[in-house]
Structure 1
Amino acid sequence: MVRVTLSTGRGHTVFDDAWFHRLHELPAEVRRPVAERVAARMAELPPDRGLVEVGFDPATALTLLSHGLADDRFAAARDWLLRSVGNRFVFHGLWGVEALFTADAAAGLPVPPAVLAALRRTALGGYAPASTHAALKRLTDPPLNVGEAWSDAALAAVTGPDDPWLALLRHLTTATTAKPSAAWEQTARALADAAGPERVRDLAVALLRQVGHPRTLPLAVGPYRTANDLFDAHNATPLRGLAWLASLLPPHQDTARTLGALVETSLRKVPGVGPRSPKVANAGVVALSRIDGEAALAELARLAARVTYRATAKLVDSVLLARAAALGLGREEVEELAVPTYGLTTVGSAAVPLGEATALLTVGGVKATLTWRTVAGKQVKGVPAAVRRDHPEEVAELRASVKDLDGMLAAQRDRLDRQFLARRTWAYGSWRERLLDHPLVGTLARRLLWTVDGTAVGFADGALRTLDDTPVTPPQDAGITLWHPADRDPAETAAWREWLERHAVTQPFKQAHREVYLLTDAERATGTYSNRFAAHVLRQHQFHALAAVRGWRNRLRLSVDDTLPPAVRELPAWGLRAEYWIHGDAADSGADDSGVHDITDSGSFLRLRTDQVRFYPLDAPENLAHCDGHWPYEMWLRDGSEPVDPLPLEEIPPLVLSEVLRDVDLFVGVASVGNDPTWQDGGPDGRHREYWTSYGFGELNATAQTRRALLERLVPRLAIADRCTLDGRFLLVKGDRHTYRIHLGSGNVLLSPSDRYLCIVPKSAGTAQPAGYLPYEGDHTLAVILSKAMLLARDTEITDRTILSQLQPRGDAERARSQRVAAETPHEIPQDAT
């Protein structure tokens, strides 16, 4: 066996699992001389490399041959084998390893914790034989797999074999159902009482905070390249039990916050796999649903606005519906009432005295900041030493509040942005209490436009005001709705934009500047579908994530023989369903390396091709098409149902049509490969070069046209105004080296007059909002355009070598090489756009 392995670099198929079992069953008097010969053969290999070179099979064989034989000469092989197995995610296909551990268990030998963890993961993956499963039933300790920060800390807290905490950890491994049973809960309470409720509570909260931290024992993952980013499959069950346990313990100010973070951490997506552990996320929601008080309800409300994973989102929704029914309120009302203040005493601010200093908590945009005012009245960012010494717990809570505020502000912003299609109307009294004057939500609501019984108003100088700044005091029962430009005359919309500018109001999302998508002649001709956003190439995973945020239901297209529905947004308030038809994009099947650059390791398409937008009644049968688009969409009819025709676009309410098309325009504008500066070569085989050029420098879509209208007002105020000019689809920037044309749709740059492409890749996808006044937040491309303009207007100050190399005259080959380098090298671009 050793000779075969050394000569071929691998084991031989004749050495299967049964062969290893028979090897171990040989009499000891036969095994000992053979083990000595194998050990001698392996000893001839170079020091410290022998076991690595021969691999698992010979090391396993030697360990089995020497099993039960008292001889230190065989210890090196066994130690290496155990260490190697313990570092693996799973070890299926390593013949003989199961035989070894079965033999160890039968002999009563301890199994190292890391090896036991690998055994458990292998068994859960379905790769272990029945003998391994039988052995695992006898191996109960430690109850948690080592290698994760939270599990290591939980095991380290055990004080001895009789510690009730150990019994409680064993009980957590029985949390195998979706919700805790009465019997499970009774046992958990009894064990927690025995271990000390306060101790258990503090441990539970501390352990839940460590979930998702980097593994303490990194795994040699082999083909499972994402294993180190996943939760340990065995530990997911006791982790679910730990979440349930937290809801049974004495109240703690951090319990709800920690459970909310657990839900989001568990749903964090791993490339090629999906959410880390939906079952742990659901356990966090179940635990929150069992905790009384505002803090738990606030976390549920925040999760309702943030969670996009469908199963967990439905669970959160059902919990909030149950709370609403118990309180006799509507679902939306419960969400609004659940939003906490996080210590804010007025809209957007709070002052908290701590000793002789004062903590100043303020909200600006969708970010909270914490600063300090010293006894001398000086405002500083750092915590004063005396406060840090005398009030550590209060400082920690304030810092946690800042983090919570950021999360809730983003959640409430997204929730308000979705209200346009919710047809929501508030009574003025409750609206004022829950939105306008709410210390947190008020920071968003006061920057939006509303209609009071049909009259448009904005908030400025402490009051609701009309376009001419007349104060408005509505009656308590007046109806309040969100203002939308689709319902208004364009002249009124332009006037409100000037009003916002005059009062220096920066809206949390586009409202007065919101794009309105009117029916085109082409759409009237097609009748039942829109081709306005067809024939685009989108990055699939970016589209998928963005669709979930905007409330669309979508499934990743895999390179498999399967059919899926289109991306769908359900609009129950209107009785409608919007569909965006998409399919996977791959090379033609005739190519020798067909699809090699188009599919991820997990089999999903990297890119999508887009097609029609259609509307159907909400209850119409769904359409299905093959993932790769080779078969068209067809309605799936079940149980004798009749086909349902798409609705004529002229019958779709203008606001619904506009909002749905705006979503689709957003998908294309963000996810299109045409706005990726690294795609100037057209991607795989250059087949998208024409599309990249036409999109990256082509006609402006509605979003880019809005951006252009804003820049017409903004450019004259820039510090570089004398170097900037708007010219059709471009912002022209005159530098000292060249004149540059920045496309207002994609942000791509051309050198003028040669129209040579200049590749500048922002270092961060989250380019900061430029300094100075902007009428709305959230336009990343606008920030990129302004930042590039500031960089190129001062092109003699550029020091980045990859950018400078593109600014020099050169031949085509050298220029192409410099652009490839630039595409692979993100660059810092200045943020001081005013």
Structure 2
Amino acid sequence: MSDDSADLRAHLDALNAPRPTRAWRRRTLELLAAPAARDEVLRRVRWYATKEPDLVGGRPFSDPSLRAEPGGRGRVWAAALLGDPGVIPLLDVIARRAAGVTREFEPSAKLAGGAVNALGEFTDPRALDVLRGLSRDVRYPGLGRQIAAAVEAAAARRGITPAQLVERGVPAHGLGRDGSLARDIGAYQAVLVIADPLTVRLTFTGADGRPLRTVPGALKVPFAAEIKELKSLVKQVRATLAAERTRVEALMAVERSWPYAEWCRYYRDHPVTGAVARGLVWEFEAPGGVWHAATPGEDVLVTVDGRALPDPTAGARVRLWHPARAFPGAVRAWRGFVTGNRMAQPFKQAFRETYRHAGPNGRAGAGPGPGFDGELRRVFAEGEWRVSHHDGTRFERGTAGRWREVRPADVPPLVFSEGTREVDLFLRVTALAEEEPFGAPSASAEIRGDVLRRVLPGTRIAGRCAVDGRFLVVRGELRTYKIHLGSAGVLMEPGNTRLSAEPARLPGPKGLFLPFEDERLTQIIGLAALLAADHRITDETLLRQIRRGA
């Protein structure tokens, strides 16, 4: 199928390692000196990425094409050595196909590993963004290690740490500092904007000044290529924004700080990362080693009492604020600030579950409740720590390539809190946890209760709702209901009989501000809105349950 010269084909087929030697690279570039050779390599790599799968009997993972390709690894490396950034999206697709992410082709560890390591050769930030996406989506541990190795190799070439490489390589996608981009298309102006840490919007504004969320009919045919490019850009920005939310949240387990000038450049002022950073609380070091908490406002750092924090010096340190490191009064104050200012946080920060070690026997003093079990093993804190759970929670620290268990009493506070949180959240969503839908509330349930006390007073159902221990009590016209803050299960009074309500039938919390995304909290509020007006329910299945025993 290939028209490669015999020498080039033999050379590419001979690559039998994930990363080629310098001699192999030199010889490859010599053989690619001819334009025809370069074109043929790129054509074949493009075929790997665009070939329609031939699924045997319609079964997933049944197309053998990529696995059967003998020189695939050599060709993706040859394409990468050409330095053409247009190869980056092709390598992304190839890695996903060969790793089984797309469920089309028989997995090929050689080809997937070759594509991953070849991506590490690029200095273009988009390649690093692709590697981050792959690390999130790929499920094979071996390939995950190769992704980490590719990032480490790229960082070593620049003389920085992998964490620094990732945060400095976040693509801006052509957006301005405010996270927006405008293009004139026909008689309309298309505007792509990061509206908040969770939302990317594309609108079209015509002569009447009214923004449209859909593509105007007048643009669909004559400007089809431009529209396609814009939609692709929206997809890329959303992927980068999601990756940044995940990356920055992972820093909650790390004792890491930045010089103020560096933090401004790579966090506050970055077109994408800035949308995440400006929705968070940070700490700024003052002379004498005192830390002051503030959040980025309009060209000013705002403290919890609404005052402006003096600008730190360029070398002053900045770190991410964590409630486990703050006094309870400060945590309550920041929660009030977040809800009072309708500050949408990219992840739970002010309302984050925290866990502290307590107890002389070295066991966790706060964590998963009794009766919960499951299996979990997760690496976190930039790969330095691992938490696992099976009949108990264990912390291990990576040292010289080996994992060594550390007593909970000796685990750093942030690592302990975040690791225990991982275990608790994991166990609460297992089937075992669901066996006690009305049991003692978890830390997450207590957080939901705090949020509800703060946001419900401004709603039309405020007079009918009250948080009482582990329940949100809702007074309807027909009955009184108790919604469990952990499971969202509903009990009806009198008699504490259970009500079965399908989540799909629930109305959403219209216009209600929530400081973070929480599907269970949204479900609880939807239930409350429904049951507060139970006399208006038309669903006969629900009505029969409500009227029975009322």
TM-score by length of 1: 0.57
Distance of 2:82 and 2:325 partners within structure 1 = 52
2:425 maps to which residue? 666
State whether residues 460 and 503 of structure 1, in contact with CA within 8 Å, keep that contact through their aligned partners in structure 2.
no
Distance of 2:446 and 2:49 partners within structure 1 = 47
Give the residue type in structure 2 aligned to 1:533.
P
1:39 maps to which residue? none
Q: Spell out the pairing of 1:236-315 with structure 2 (5 A cutoff).
A: 236-238=67-69, 243-244=76-77, 246-247=79-80, 251=84, 253=86, 255-264=87-96, 266-267=98-99, 278-304=109-135, 309-315=140-146
Distance of 2:298 and 2:132 partners within structure 1 = 30
Distance of 1:359 and 1:387 partners within structure 2 = 11
Distance of 2:34 and 2:496 partners within structure 1 = 72
1:407 maps to which residue? 239
Q: 1:416 to 1:378 in 2, by over 3 A?
A: same
Q: 1:740 to 1:654 in 2, by over 3 A?
A: same
Distance of 1:337 and 1:749 partners within structure 2 = 48
Give the residue type in structure 1 aligned to 2:268.
L
Residue aligned with 1:696, SS: coil
Distance of 2:309 and 2:350 partners within structure 1 = 20
Q: 1:288 to 1:373 in 2, by over 3 A?
A: same
1:505, distance to aligned residue in structure 2 (A):
1.0
State whether residues 357 and 366 of structure 2, in contact with CA within 8 Å, keep that contact through their aligned partners in structure 1.
no
Q: 1:206 to 1:382 in 2, by over 3 A?
A: farther
Q: 1:429 to 1:768 in 2, by over 3 A?
A: farther
1:435 maps to which residue? 267
1:657 maps to which residue? 416
Whether 1:383 aligns to 2:215 is yes
Distance of 1:188 and 1:371 partners within structure 2 = 49
1:579 maps to which residue? 388
Residue aligned with 1:456, SS: strand
Distance of 2:371 and 2:4 partners within structure 1 = 57
Q: 1:196 to 1:362 in 2, by over 3 A?
A: same
State whether residues 243 and 259 of structure 1, in contact with CA within 8 Å, keep that contact through their aligned partners in structure 2.
yes
Q: 1:374 to 1:268 in 2, by over 3 A?
A: farther
RMSD: 4.0
Listed as ranges, the gaps of 5+ residues in structure 2 are 286-290
Note the alpha carbon deviations across 1:500-557, whole angstroms, 9 max, x for none.
Answer: 233321111111111221334xx43x4346694265556x7xx76xx6xxxx15xxxx
The percentage of aligned residue pairs carrying the same residue is 31
**Residue among 487, 509, 526 paired with 1:787:** 526
1:496, distance to aligned residue in structure 2 (A):
1.4
**Residue among 310, 326, 329 paired with 1:488:** 326
Whether 1:710 aligns to 2:451 is yes
Distance of 1:394 and 1:733 partners within structure 2 = 51
1:467, distance to aligned residue in structure 2 (A):
2.4
State whether residues 171 and 188 of structure 1, in contact with CA within 8 Å, keep that contact through their aligned partners in structure 2.
no
**Residue among 298, 302, 305 paired with 1:465:** 302
Q: 1:619 to 1:249 in 2, by over 3 A?
A: closer
State whether residues 356 and 366 of structure 2, in contact with CA within 8 Å, keep that contact through their aligned partners in structure 1.
no
1:667, distance to aligned residue in structure 2 (A):
0.7
Distance of 1:662 and 1:385 partners within structure 2 = 49
Residue aligned with 2:201, SS: strand
State whether residues 481 and 491 of structure 2, in contact with CA within 8 Å, keep that contact through their aligned partners in structure 1.
yes
**Residue among 433, 446, 452 paired with 2:278:** 446
State whether residues 343 and 515 of structure 2, in contact with CA within 8 Å, keep that contact through their aligned partners in structure 1.
yes
Distance of 2:255 and 2:25 partners within structure 1 = 45
Whether 1:697 aligns to 2:438 is yes
Note the alpha carbon deviations across 1:432-451, whole angstroms, 9 max, x for none.
Answer: 01110000000000111111
Give the residue type in structure 2 aligned to 1:164.
D
Give the residue type in structure 2 aligned to 1:759.
S
State whether residues 298 and 340 of structure 1, in contact with CA within 8 Å, keep that contact through their aligned partners in structure 2.
yes
Whether 1:340 aligns to 2:171 is yes
Q: 1:185 to 1:301 in 2, by over 3 A?
A: farther
State whether residues 528 and 614 of structure 1, in contact with CA within 8 Å, keep that contact through their aligned partners in structure 2.
no
1:768, distance to aligned residue in structure 2 (A):
8.3
Distance of 1:171 and 1:770 partners within structure 2 = 64
2:316 maps to which residue? 478
Distance of 2:193 and 2:366 partners within structure 1 = 46
Residue aligned with 2:466, SS: strand
Distance of 2:192 and 2:327 partners within structure 1 = 40
Distance of 1:171 and 1:381 partners within structure 2 = 53
Q: Spell out the pairing of 1:553-702 with structure 2 (5 A cutoff).
A: 553=379, 577-580=386-389, 582=390, 611-616=391-396, 618-619=398-399, 647=407, 649-675=408-434, 692=435, 695-702=436-443
Distance of 1:390 and 1:241 partners within structure 2 = 41
2:368 maps to which residue? 533
Distance of 1:329 and 1:399 partners within structure 2 = 34
State whether residues 427 and 479 of structure 1, in contact with CA within 8 Å, keep that contact through their aligned partners in structure 2.
yes
Distance of 1:578 and 1:728 partners within structure 2 = 31
Whether 1:758 aligns to 2:499 is yes
Distance of 1:488 and 1:698 partners within structure 2 = 29
State whether residues 479 and 493 of structure 2, in contact with CA within 8 Å, keep that contact through their aligned partners in structure 1.
yes
Whether 1:738 aligns to 2:479 is yes
**Residue among 198, 202, 211 paired with 1:366:** 198
State whether residues 388 and 423 of structure 2, in contact with CA within 8 Å, keep that contact through their aligned partners in structure 1.
no
Distance of 2:41 and 2:412 partners within structure 1 = 56
Distance of 2:15 and 2:257 partners within structure 1 = 43
Give the residue type in structure 2 aligned to 1:656.
V
Q: 1:318 to 1:216 in 2, by over 3 A?
A: closer
Q: 1:264 to 1:753 in 2, by over 3 A?
A: farther
Note the alpha carbon deviations across 1:408-436, whole angstroms, 9 max, x for none.
Answer: 11111111111122221101111101110
State whether residues 189 and 248 of structure 1, in contact with CA within 8 Å, keep that contact through their aligned partners in structure 2.
no
Q: 1:319 to 1:196 in 2, by over 3 A?
A: closer
1:662, distance to aligned residue in structure 2 (A):
1.2
2:156 maps to which residue? 325
Distance of 1:645 and 1:289 partners within structure 2 = 32
**Residue among 335, 347, 351 paired with 1:509:** 347
Q: 1:663 to 1:397 in 2, by over 3 A?
A: same
Distance of 1:499 and 1:306 partners within structure 2 = 35
Q: 1:347 to 1:305 in 2, by over 3 A?
A: farther
1:262, distance to aligned residue in structure 2 (A):
4.1
1:769, distance to aligned residue in structure 2 (A):
8.5
1:596 maps to which residue? none
Give the residue type in structure 1 aligned to 2:150.
V
Give the residue type in structure 2 aligned to 1:614.
R
Distance of 1:392 and 1:270 partners within structure 2 = 27
Question: Greater RCO between the two (CA within 8 Å, min separation 6)?
Answer: 2
State whether residues 61 and 100 of structure 2, in contact with CA within 8 Å, keep that contact through their aligned partners in structure 1.
no
1:165, distance to aligned residue in structure 2 (A):
8.2
Give the residue type in structure 1 aligned to 2:368.
F
Give the residue type in structure 1 aligned to 2:224.
P
Residue aligned with 1:219, SS: helix
Distance of 1:450 and 1:423 partners within structure 2 = 13
Distance of 1:431 and 1:362 partners within structure 2 = 22
**Residue among 172, 176, 179 paired with 2:18:** 179
1:328, distance to aligned residue in structure 2 (A):
2.1
Residue aligned with 2:460, SS: coil
Q: 1:770 to 1:476 in 2, by over 3 A?
A: farther
Q: Spell out the pairing of 1:67-146 with structure 2 (5 A cutoff).
A: none
State whether residues 167 and 191 of structure 1, in contact with CA within 8 Å, keep that contact through their aligned partners in structure 2.
no
Residue aligned with 2:392, SS: strand
Residue aligned with 2:503, SS: coil
